[in-house]
Structures are given as C-alpha cells and as structure tokens.
C-alpha cells in the first residue's frame, strides 16, 4: 500500500483535541492539556464533543463525533489531531466515516486504547500513517511523565526510529520484517467481522488493561483464527498487560503463542496504559529483533 505521510509537528502548529470515544467527565483536564501545549508554543482547538455527552460516550450523538472528525481533518488550520481519551465509542463510527475526507487531508492523528480502531481503519482505508500515542485527558492534563513527553515529541517532530524493550522476556528468538500494526487487543478484536486486516506482512504489537488471562487467551485465539492475520504476522511485540493477577499464567500463554506460530516474540516495550509510554508510528515498515528487544523503523514516516 502507498503510504500517506503527515507533516511533522512543529512549534506554532495548531493541535486539535478531539473526543470521539468515551465521555469527558472533567473538562478541566482537557483545558489543562490545552495549557500544556500552549506553554510549549502550540495553538490548541478543542472539539465541542469534549464538552457534550450521550450515555457513556462523548458528543451529543454518534453523528456529532463523526462530524467533528470530518471537520478536524477538513480544517486546514488544524495541523495535528490528538484524541482526548479512549473508553468506548469509535466502533460505532466506522461505517459512517467518509474516508475520502481523511485521505484528501492527511495530517497527524494520534491516540491509543479504543482509538486503536481508528488507527487500524485509517491505515486500511486510507494508507495514512497514524500514531499510537498518549492522549490529552490522561497523559497531558496533570502529571506529565518526562519519558512520555520526550517520546511523543521525538516521534511527531523528529521521526524517531528506534525503540527498545525494558527488562523484557524473550519468548522466541529471531528477526523479522513487516509493518508495525496492532494496538489495544480488546479494541482490535472488536473489529472482527470488518475488513480491517492489512495485506502486508505484519509486526503485531499488543497491549491491554484489566483483562484476566482467560480473556486475553480468548482474544488472541480469536485474532489468530483470522487466517489472514495468522499468515501475515511475522513477529509479536507485547507491551504491558496491566492489572493481570496471574502473571505466570500470562507468560505461559505468550510462550504458547510463540511456540505455535514460530515467529519472533518478546515483551517489555512501553506500549501501555501506564503513564510511562512510547509514541510509535502505525503502519510503517520496521525490523524486529526479539532477542535484542529492539524494533527499528525502516522509512521516514513524517514529512519534514
């Protein structure tokens, strides 16, 4: 697939903070994120959907969220879009999105968790390089982790290409190539039934939160029951699976997956719901060395 690459983020740019998933319960957190980016020399626009909600979701209606997404991409004065938070909601939007609007207006689009759904679909439908990244509500609103902040700007402004695990476990040694693709496991699996799987070889990265081991097992099994994924996955990068009680059982599951698929697999990467997290480009070619605990991007993914 021919990639659409966004322009790099630079001071003076306008960042649009967009809510298309869970309800924003405390708008002061979004305002704090605005102040943070303003202090660094960026302009900020906040979507109305940050201030409105229906049930547990942002915006007055689903259509409001889709309209806000379209508006932020169409607006030439907005240079980058940072999602406000995850939660639940984006799955409800994917059949309403006009993908041509996104394809014709490529720009930075960043988020994680439930936003995984949009990252995957923007790659599939548009070939847009997006970013698995921290978000406004949880990461840039109060205590701002130095590691998270540095990684965010190193990727979006400088095109950082090298990422290393921290005290990771090796499940299967090897080196492989593919596009960097994946995200939140629960969100990714929710796309089953939709045409969302890339045609290219994949280096799959995964993380999750508050899921027992049997549900992680179930989700992985469901994912690898998709023959296209089983065929195309050439390596697995595991980030954090937070708040798992039986960590030994989780490791045994990962060893089982590695043994069954016979591809490079390791963990320890700061792809996570934790405060300390990496920003990584989504849909770009990379090489993964599981024994060294390193993956490296093989191409420029932002326009300088």
Backbone angles phi, psi at 4, to 5 degrees: -100, 120
Query: Active-site residue 52, yes or no?
Result: no
Distance, in Å, from the CA atom of 210 to the CA atom of 185, rounded to the nearest integer, reads 12
Strand 170-172 versus strand 162-164 pairing type: unpaired
Among residues 172, 273, 285, 290, which one is catalytic?
A: 273
Query: Active-site residue 273, yes or no?
Result: yes
Strand 280-282 versus strand 130-132 pairing type: antiparallel
Among residues 113, 141, 151, 266, which one is catalytic?
A: 113
Distance, in Å, from the CA atom of 39 to the CA atom of 42, rounded to the nearest integer, reads 7
For the beta carbon of residue 56, count every other beta carbon within 10 angstroms.
12
Query: Active-site residue 207, yes or no?
Result: yes
Among residues 132, 176, 187, 207, which one is catalytic?
A: 207
Q: Enter the DSSP assignment of 47.
A: -
- Residue in the structure block whose two tokens are 């591809």: 263
Q: Alpha carbon 91 to chain centroid distance?
A: 14
162, β-bridge pairs: 296
- Residue 192: CB partners within 8 Å, gap ≥ 6? 222, 223, 226
Q: Alpha carbon 15 to chain centroid distance?
A: 17
Distance, in Å, from the CA atom of 172 to the CA atom of 256, rounded to the nearest integer, reads 10
Annotated catalytic residues are 113, 207, 273
């Amino acid at each position: 697939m021919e990639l659409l690459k966004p322009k790099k983020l630079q001071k003076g740019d306008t960042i649009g903070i967009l809510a298309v998933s869970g309800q924003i319960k405390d708008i002061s957190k979004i305002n704090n994120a605005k102040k943070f980016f303003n202090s660094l020399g960026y302009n900020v626009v906040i979507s109305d959907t940050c201030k409105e909600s229906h049930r547990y979701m942002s915006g007055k209606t689903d259509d409001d969220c889709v309209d806000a997404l379209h508006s932020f991409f169409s607006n030439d004065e907005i240079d980058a879009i940072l999602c406000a938070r995850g939660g639940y909601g984006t799955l409800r939007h994917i059949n309403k999105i006009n993908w041509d609007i996104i394809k014709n207006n490529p720009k930075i689009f960043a988020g994680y968790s439930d936003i995984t759904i949009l990252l995957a679909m923007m790659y599939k439908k548009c070939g847009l390089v997006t970013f698995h990244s921290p978000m406004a509500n949880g990461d840039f609103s109060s205590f701002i982790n130095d590691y998270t902040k540095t990684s965010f700007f190193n990727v979006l402004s400088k095109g950082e290409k090298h990422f290393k695990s921290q005290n990771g476990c090796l499940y299967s040694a090897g080196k492989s190539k593919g596009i960097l693709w994946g995200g939140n496991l629960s969100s990714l699996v929710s796309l089953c039934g939709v045409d969302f799987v890339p045609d290219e070889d994949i280096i799959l990265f995964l993380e999750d939160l508050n899921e027992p081991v049997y549900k992680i097992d179930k989700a992985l099994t469901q994912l690898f029951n998709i023959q296209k994924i089983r065929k195309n996955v050439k390596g697995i990068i595991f980030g954090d699976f937070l708040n798992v009680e039986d960590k030994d059982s989780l490791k045994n599951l990962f060893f089982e997956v590695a043994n069954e698929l016979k591809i490079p697999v390791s963990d320890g990467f700061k792809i996570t719901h934790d405060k300390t997290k990496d920003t990584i480009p989504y849909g770009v070619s990379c090489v993964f060395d599981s024994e060294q605990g390193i993956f490296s991007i093989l191409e420029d993914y932002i326009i300088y």
